[in-house]
Structure 1
Amino acid sequence: MKIGTLSARTGVPARMLRYYEDQGLLAPQRSGNGYRAFAEDDVDRVTMVRDLIRSGLPTRLIRIVLEMENPVASGWTERCTRDFAEVLAGELEALDARIACLTRSRDTVRDYLSHTEHAALLSGSAGR
């Protein structure tokens, strides 16, 4: 299938699909005229890549996940190497640090607004 079809089926823009290819996350065949030719399996692969990116995993780690034998199959984590587990643990620490930083920033902004005449605006963001 062509890139436009893959884009329509996955909801991932063609530009992003080209980025995935540049990052080594997709490897489409090339037809005689140079057009990318994606396989049916690429629909699931793109969906997985998109979901991993949304979860905050960088493409350099996604590439490693995809290189594991059949990562979509249940139990793929059983083949996780110690080295990769250490990389993931480091990524988890970095995510926790970013979350802590964002939490402090949010609390600072909330505290500032609570001391202004516009404190009532906070009621709309209390659950966020």
Structure 2
Amino acid sequence: MRIGELAQRAGTTTRALRFYEAQGLLPARRAANGYREYGEEDLRLISEIRTLQAVGFSLDDTRPFVDCLRAGHETGDSCADSIEVYERKLDEVDACIERLTEVRAHLLGKLAGALEREPGPCTVPGPAAPDTKES
């Protein structure tokens, strides 16, 4: 299949596919007329890349999964390098959750303190009305 069909079937753009190719993630075979040609295995690579990016993986993070598929494995996470990326990403998520938990606790404390002071409505003085007298 040609690049336009691959882009359509993968739910992406030809520009993205060219970028993946430039990054070494998507091998392009050239026909005699110079057009890029792709197979079903390329659609599978693009699907893997897009799925991983949808859950927060960088393009570089997807590389071991793509390499694993290109090596002939049935899934992109059948290789040790892919497992290492999963573990690293989980560590990042855990750190983010920990930080957000701290932020949440801080905000709850601030809210409790504010509510204890029984806040009332705020009246902010508006700008002075313009002088409408004519000279």
TM-score normalised to structure 2 length: 0.60
Pairing 1:39–2:39 present: yes
Offset of residue 86 of structure 1: 4.1
Higher relative contact order (CA 8 A, sep 6+): 1
Q: Percent identity?
A: 32
How is 1:86-97 mapped onto 2 (pairs within 5 angstroms)?
86-97=84-95
Pairing 1:72–2:70 present: no
Unaligned ranges ≥5, structure 1: 118-128
Moved over 6 A (4+): none
**Which of the pair is proportionally richer in helix?**
1
Q: Which amino acid aligns with 1:3?
A: I
Instruction: Measure the CA separation in 2 of the matches of 1:59 and 1:116.
Output: 50
Alignment coverage as a number of residue pairs: 108
Offset of residue 46 of structure 1: 1.2
Q: Which amino acid aligns with 1:15?
A: R
What RMSD, in angstroms, separates the aligned Cα atoms of the two structures? 3.2
When Rg is computed on C-alpha atoms for both structures, the one with the higher figure is 2
Offset of residue 50 of structure 1: 0.9
Offset of residue 99 of structure 1: 4.7
Instruction: Measure the CA separation in 2 of the matches of 1:101 and 1:34.
Output: 51
